[in-house]
Amino acid sequence: DTAVSQTPKYLVTQMGNDKSIKCEQNLGHDTMYWYKQDSKKFLKIMFSYNNKELIINETVPNRFSPKSPDKAHLNLHINSLELGDSAVYFCASSTRAPQREQYFGPGTRLTVT
Amino acid sequence: GQQVMQIPQYQHVQEGEDFTTYCNSSTTLSNIQWYKQRPGGHPVFLIQLVKSGEVKKQKRLTFQFGEAKKNSSLHITATQTTDVGTYFCAGRSNFGNEKLTFGTGTRLTIIP
């Protein structure tokens, strides 16, 4: 049983297209996150939702829009894709307390050509 | 904003040698976590440190949280090929804050 799953695993698309990445967790956690990992392996938080409410919104272009239909799902929609959006996108989830360790999904490798 | 730096960025060691990565935050942390990411994989939680000066051990891994709660270290004794990967520290600046700021990571490679 996969704890945090993401689809698709790989995504190759052209500049200007719109794409979505889906994330689901079956751990019963109430907080979910999106991270971007660039080619240098730097991990940057993008968004976080707690019980479907947006609680972290870092400086991310508004072409990126997260949506949380329920506590177990957090999707990421990207409009007008650019070359610089190429990266690995990780979804993660955690409880709010006490340790709040984050469980990461397998990642979605996005390549924009 | 908060920055978390790690050194070294890369480390190549012979199998059996020891390895240490250091993590430094620009601000005082409420707690720090460590994650390991295998090549092609995703970050996996290793441990959390909360108290000033705290030291925790997991088999060959020793984690330390600085007295000022602005730095941390991970030491691996007698590295094995299974230790290959990138090690990240991640800190929270305030209790109740959901945001983890990840360090820049240290990529460990083992020479058999």
CA distance linking residue B90 with residue B102, whole number of Å: 4
Residue B41 · residue B27 · CB < 8 Å: no
Smallest Cα distance from A45 to chain B, Å: 7
pLDDT band at A97 (very low <50, low <70, confident <90, very high): low
Identify the pLDDT of residue B5: 96
Instruction: Please give the average per-residue pLDDT across A62-90, as a whole number.
Output: 96
pLDDT at A51 over 80: yes
Which residues of chain A have a CB within 8 Å of the CB of B45?
101-103
CA distance linking residue B100 with residue B107, whole number of Å: 20
pLDDT at A2 over 80: no
CB pairs under 8 A between A and B: 46
Which of B44, B98, B101 is nearest residue A31 as measured by Cβ atoms? B98
pLDDT band at A53 (very low <50, low <70, confident <90, very high): confident
Which residues of chain A have a CB within 8 Å of the CB of B86?
41
CB contact under 8 A, A102 and B88: no
Percent of chain A whose pLDDT exceeds 70:
96
Give chain B's residues under pLDDT 50.
none
As a whole number, the mean pLDDT across chain A is: 93
pLDDT band at A95 (very low <50, low <70, confident <90, very high): confident
pLDDT band at A1 (very low <50, low <70, confident <90, very high): low
Identify the pLDDT of residue B88: 98
Structure tokens at B48: 């959390």
